[in-house]
Amino acid sequence: MSIKKKLFLSFLVVTLLFGAVACGDDDNESTSSSSEASSSEASSSEASSSEASSSEASTPTGDLSACPDPIVIQTDWFPESEHGAMYELFGDGDYSIDSENLIVTGTLHDEGTDTGIGLEVRTGGPAIGFSPVASYMYTDEGITFGYANTEAQVTFFESAPLLSVVAPLEKNPQMVMWDPETYPDVETLADLGEQDITISVFGGGVFAEVFIAQGIWSADQVDPSYDGSPANFIANGGQIAQQGFASAEPYDYENVFTDWGKPVKLQLLHDAGFPVYSQTVAIRSAEKEELDSCLKAFVPVVQRAVVSFIEDPSTANGIIIDAVDTFGSFWVYSEGLAEFSVRSQVNLGLVGNGPNGTVGDMEETRIQDVIDIMDDAGIDTGGITTQDIYTNEYIDPDIGFDTGDLSACPDPIVIQTDWFPESEHGAMYELFGDGDYSIDSENLIVTGTLHDEGTDTGIGLEVRTGGPAIGFSPVASYMYTDEGITFGYANTEAQVTFFESAPLLSVVAPLEKNPQMVMWDPETYPDVETLADLGEQDITISVFGGGVFAEVFIAQGIWSADQVDPSYDGSPANFIANGGQIAQQGFASAEPYDYENVFTDWGKPVKLQLLHDAGFPVYSQTVAIRSAEKEELDSCLKAFVPVVQRAVVSFIEDPSTANGIIIDAVDTFGSFWVYSEGLAEFSVRSQVNLGLVGNGPNGTVGDMEETRIQDVIDIMDDAGIDTGGITTQDIYTNEYIDHSIGF
């Protein structure tokens, strides 16, 4: 739960918080923080698997007049943007706020039309005595729909059975967070377990019980005394991890809790392996037949509200903020937090289409996974089946977020890379599929048609060489001299540096880590393991002039200015001539192969550390657009970005076709750049082994972490590099990422 006031020690707040589980959880009671995991696994699991009670073949046609009037929706907490679709149902009509009973009242709207049917959205948590929504629905028959999550439905099924009919959220927002400065090597909840870090959680949480049973965490590292206050996390200086909501706490810890005032890092419970549906809209199970006609009409209305809220959250967020202000309780909800919540819902895939392109429906396999996980953890599920707790019968399969249109893209799509063809660019050449292609050796361009999963889209594709082909210009500035370029390669530090004159917006990151590294001779320096060790031993480090990373490491005191030699020109001659007495920058996906197999005057392995792993986590070789063209390219991006994501995965699974194009192109160009089959194979192997390519912490390929980008901006600021007040939103978006695509 995220508290916005600093009055945590007052009796009222402590009393309220003690019994409350984090916001947005149906079991605000004793049980859990609903968790959702295996995001990519669950979401990519058989979209076609049989869905309980799912008559998706025909669009539901019911009658809203068959619904109770008013329709009463019981939420699980105070108004917040995770509940956005429920408040979107008020449309732009009049509404009233009952500050005594914490209820918002108006009429149900659908696509801007007032249906004339009354609507009440009720607050949960303290407003219902912190009762589970499931049990509370059985004490107040005036409630039509209540919020439910999978684990709570299983837990309370015997006494208070609920049937979920639509899931506004695709993923559960619950997470565990930690301080990335204190634990720079922690990327996942499993890492927390391996490092035996104390994890502060609400008592009785099912997810903690599950992770302990799975051996991900040990029982003695889980502290069940969390009460919702930030006090303990802050007092411990980030030495502990803590549960929370990804759509709230990260904002508060950075912007509201001034004693902390910096980013946290997190992983969703969903992505850690517990894929519950959270905040589903549910009915009392026995009322399905009675509400049948109502459900056929109402569920599609909710689906449309989910989509319209994300497309324009301003009206519903306005109602949420107004309601919270009017209630005048300890719960505070600002405009900044509301905006952050919506952005997080999109960027983390908390809201979006399921794998079948429909919003609001639920996967049977995923629900069964949760039941099985709970069973395996020794939690009595009472023989419950998936059909007991959900149905897709009322889902309109035609309603979902716009997935774009490739025909809205320029034809041809032109991609400007940063260098000659190489396997780090593999996904770009994978886009040619196994179709015909041509090589322009004069302009260093490969041309063909765009393919997606083996299908020729008929849209032209050009992949252009950077480096000498564009006069060694930065791709950012070059894109502003050639408007024919659709997408260009960008990295975080360059985006910050050139933002004022040549702003680029990254839309997908084929590489998870930057391949840049510094290498040294392990025979000469057997005790050197890291770039920091190079600094401690005052070893000369040969780098290209003007490199931001060298400036950063000098400013951080990792290296001294006098040990950095900015005369490196890309040649191996100096390193070899010095007999490995110096260190040298390079690319982990290329130089180690060449020094061992190509440069015969050396002919042995080198050792290295990635700049990323040394503390400068830029995204490199992201696919970016000119910032001002986002709106114009919107429909194209919705379709094209998932194509790139799929190409990343398919290239790594079988790089032979794309590597063949890369080698052929380099051979045909006939320049100084040489690329062998052995180097191509090494590059792919290195990309995998070093984690240069792979899923992010949420199980998705191609998306970017806001905290990581903010870290780079802060690092550059701290190094005295003028970042011009740039924000993360200026240079990246995950808006177009398909969160069901990953390795």
pLDDT attached to residue 17:
33
Give the end-to-end CA distance of the chain in Å, rounded to a whole number: 32
Per-run averaged pLDDT (10 residues), the chain, 743 residues: 32 32 39 33 36 45 92 97 98 96 97 96 94 93 96 94 97 95 92 95 91 95 92 94 95 94 94 95 97 97 97 96 96 95 92 89 96 95 95 96 92 97 97 96 97 95 96 93 96 94 97 97 96 96 92 96 94 93 96 95 96 96 97 96 97 97 97 95 96 89 93 95 94 92 91
One-letter amino acid for residue 147 of the chain: Y
Q: How far apart are CA 201 and CA 364, in angstroms?
A: 29
Structure tokens at 373: 């996980």
For the chain, helix, strand, coil in percent to 5 are: 35, 15, 50
45-344-283 Cα angle (round to 5): 60
What residues are paired with 489 via a beta bridge? Answer: 623
Q: How far apart are CA 675 and CA 590, in angstroms?
A: 10
Structure tokens at 203: 């008592």
Residues 6+ apart with CB under 8 A from 312: none
Q: How far apart are CA 100 and CA 616, in angstroms?
A: 51
Provide the pairing of β-strand 541-542 with 103-110. Answer: unpaired
Structure tokens at 14: 């402590």
Structure tokens at 347: 């960027």
Q: How far apart are CA 743 and CA 739, in angstroms?
A: 11
Residues 6+ apart with CB under 8 A from 364: 49, 50, 51, 52, 54, 386, 390
What residues are paired with 586 via a beta bridge? Answer: 517
Q: How far apart are CA 688 and CA 431, in angstroms?
A: 20
For residue 458, the number of C-alpha atoms closer than 13 Å in the C-beta half-sphere is 4
Number of H helices, E strands in the chain: 27, 24
Q: What are phi and psi of 149, to 5 degrees?
A: -125, 160
Q: Which of these, 188, 382, 388, 381, lies nearest to 282 by C-alpha position?
A: 388
Work out the burial of residue 743: count CB atoms within 10 Å of its CB; fewer than 13 is exposed, 13-18 middle, 19 or more buried.
middle
DSSP letter for each residue of 174-236 = EEEEE-TTT-TT--SHHHHHHTT--EE-BTT-HHHHHHHHTTSS-GGGEETB--S-SHHHHHT
Q: How far is CA 137 from the centre of its chain?
A: 34
Query: Other CB atoms closer than 10 Å to residue 413's CB: what's the count?
Result: 22
- Collapsing DSSP to helix, strand or coil, 35 comes out as coil
pLDDT attached to residue 43:
36
Whether the Cβ atoms of residue 717 and residue 727 lie closer than 8 Å to each other: no
Q: Which of these, 346, 313, 32, 47, lies nearest to 171 by C-alpha position?
A: 346
- Collapsing DSSP to helix, strand or coil, 44 comes out as helix
Provide the pairing of β-strand 103-110 with 113-122. Answer: antiparallel
Q: Which helix (H) or strand (E) holds 284?
A: strand 280-284
Work out the burial of residue 538: count CB atoms within 10 Å of its CB; fewer than 13 is exposed, 13-18 middle, 19 or more buried.
exposed
Q: How far apart are CA 520 and CA 164, in angstroms?
A: 59
- Collapsing DSSP to helix, strand or coil, 426 comes out as helix
Q: How far apart are CA 102 and CA 127, in angstroms?
A: 7
pTM score of the predicted model: 0.78
Q: How far apart are CA 407 and CA 640, in angstroms?
A: 10
pLDDT attached to residue 699:
84
What's the sign of the alpha-carbon dihedral 588, 589, 590, 593? positive
Q: What are phi and psi of 308, to 5 degrees?
A: -70, -35
pLDDT attached to residue 58:
52
Whether the Cβ atoms of residue 192 and residue 65 lie closer than 8 Å to each other: no
Q: How far apart are CA 556 and CA 563, in angstroms?
A: 14
Q: Phi/psi class of residue 570: alpha, beta or left (left: φ > 0; alpha: ψ in -120 to 50)?
A: left
Structure tokens at 684: 């792919």
**Torsion, Cα of 545, 547, 552, 554 (10° steps):** -20
Q: What is the largest CA-CA distance in the chain?
A: 85
Structure tokens at 589: 């996906």
